[in-house]
Amino acid sequence: MGNAVDSLRQIYAELQAHRALPALAGTPLAWLEREREAALADWSARELPTRKDEAWKYTSLRDVAESEILDAAGADARTLSALEAAGLRPRSSGSRTAANLVFVNGRFVPQWSVFPETPGVHVLPLSAALRAEGAPVRSALTGLREIFASAAHKGAETPFAAMNASLFRDAALIVAEGSVELEAPVFLNFIHTGAFPGSGRLTASFPRVIVLAGARSSLRVIESHGGADGAGYLTAGVTDLHLGEGARLSHVRMQREGDESFHFGTTRSWQSRGSRLESLQISLGAKLSRQDLKVRLAEAGAEATVDGLYLTRGRQHADHHTAIEHAVGDTTSSQLYKGILGGESRAVFNGRVWIAKDAQRSSSSQLNNNLLLSPRAEVDTKPELEIFADDVKAGHGATIGRLDPEHLFYFKSRAIPEQMAVAMLAEGFAQDVVTRLSSEALREALLPPVRAAVRGLKVEAT
């Protein structure tokens, strides 16, 4: 039986000894070094949280805590050919793609990536960006530092986000200059390899994404995480979204990790005046996954639509935590999280909306709908509101239930077999989080995989 924190501490020490982490940049960056060390002090001083911690009340990390963690393999030729053989190499999604970056175990793979020059938009690995010159890259780094420094995001950081800050190898960097509009989505593919199942070992990767949407820019990003079934690995990703004045950003995080993996993702969005975020988190894979999404509506007129969809089966466990901070008045947030659960799976939703004192005329809504397909599935939902201003509109709702027997009867009376009826009803239930997306390109890219995943679900009799 291993100890995750101990082995991660060891990985960090070895990487530092071989100067493998600073080598990321090619140049020593004192401030980045300090960030890595500060984050290390944060996560390495304590054990992983247990179910006694309120934020982890419904999600046990015991399987992770007792595993030995290994540094994931690099993106060498052998790893790549193995991935290719396993059919895990991501294919370009056709003509409607602005760029497609591929990272294996957190390292950039140039030979699998396509990032054509687009005026005003820079899509590149951070390692390359740091070597390059030019104003946008510099401002990207300043923005990055700002996000690092922001107290709101540091507050209740998960240990996995802190681990990422210490251990990330590379990052996908997307910078949209002011007033640039890009309709075609940018694809970011993160592929992970793992240890043999049953070995009690997990390999760890720390994917990182930074999006800087300049003033009045408009951008769409699909971030996808995947790996082979049966492989034991842990992903601790961090995505930072920085929205300038009036910027519009659609961000999708699609989680399709292998069935023996553990996935932890933190997404942070910092929003300026009049900016608008459209976020969608889709969780389909992993043995255990946890998404933490934090939004700071920092200036008036900022708006966030934060949606999610989770489909779980077998013994899968999917946990979604959201925290929306209305730091000032005249800000708007809306959340819709939907889940369909089968087998003995378990889903957790914890949505927190925080409206600061004097954040008058804030408006917030939140809804969590769950559909249970099996008598052994479990849902734990906790929509929280904390309100310190009086002139606000805030509400939340949650529902949990089965498919309506009358709806099923309607299908049956028209000679549609039950399994098909269930698939159609579940599809209808699931897809409206996708059809809510404003971009047609995103809807087109996401509907097929979502439909396929819903059709794979089975109803079990009570």
Partner 1 sequence: MGDKNQALDLERDYKYGFITDIETDTVPKGLSEDVIRLISAKKNEPEWMLEYRLKAYRHWLTMEEPAWANVRYPKIDFNDIIYYSAPKKRGEGPKSLDELDPELLRTFEKLGIPLSEQKRISGVAVDAVFDSVSVGTTHKETLEKHGVVFCSISEAMREHEGLVRKYLGSVVPVSDNFYAALNAAVFTDGSFVYIPKGVRCPIDLSTYFRINASETGQFERTLVVADEGSFVNYLEGCTAPQRDENQLHAAVVELIALDDAEIKYSTVQNWYTGDKEGRGGIYNFVTKRGKCQGRNSRISWTQVESGSAITWKYPSCLLLGENSQGAFYSVALTHDHMQADTGTKMIHVGRNTRSTIISKGISTGHSRNSYRGQVKIMPSAAGARNYSQCDSMLVGDSCSASTYPYIEVKNDTAVLEHEATTSRISEDQLFYLRSRGLDTEQAISILVQGFCKDVFKQLPLEFSVEAVKLIEMKLENSVG
Residues 333-362 that bind partner 1 (CB under 8 A): 357-358, 360
Out of 45, 390, 414, 435, name the contact with partner 1 by CB under 8 A.
Answer: 390
Q: Which stretch binds partner 1 (CB under 8 A): 107-115, 191-199, 265-273, 379-387?
A: 379-387
Out of 33, 63, 259, 378, name the contact with partner 1 by CB under 8 A.
Answer: 378
Nearer Cβ to partner 1 (247/348): 348
Q: Least distance from C-beta 54 to partner 1, angstroms?
A: 7
Nearer Cβ to partner 1 (195/359): 359
* Site for partner 1 contains 370 (CB under 8 A): yes
Q: Least distance from C-beta 400 to partner 1, angstroms?
A: 4
Q: Which amino acid is at 425?
A: L
Nearer Cβ to partner 1 (57/443): 57
Out of 76, 384, 418, 440, name the contact with partner 1 by CB under 8 A.
Answer: 384
* Site for partner 1 contains 385 (CB under 8 A): yes
Residues 147-206 that bind partner 1 (CB under 8 A): none
* Site for partner 1 contains 380 (CB under 8 A): yes
Out of 28, 134, 397, 456, name the contact with partner 1 by CB under 8 A.
Answer: 397
Nearer Cβ to partner 1 (150/365): 365
Q: Which stretch binds partner 1 (CB under 8 A): 59-67, 76-84, 93-101, 370-378?
A: 370-378
Out of 28, 401, 417, 456, name the contact with partner 1 by CB under 8 A.
Answer: 401
* Site for partner 1 contains 409 (CB under 8 A): no
Nearer Cβ to partner 1 (189/362): 362
Nearer Cβ to partner 1 (36/290): 290
Nearer Cβ to partner 1 (272/366): 366
Nearer Cβ to partner 1 (29/403): 403
Residues that bind partner 1 (CB under 8 A): 54, 58, 357-358, 360, 370, 372-402, 462
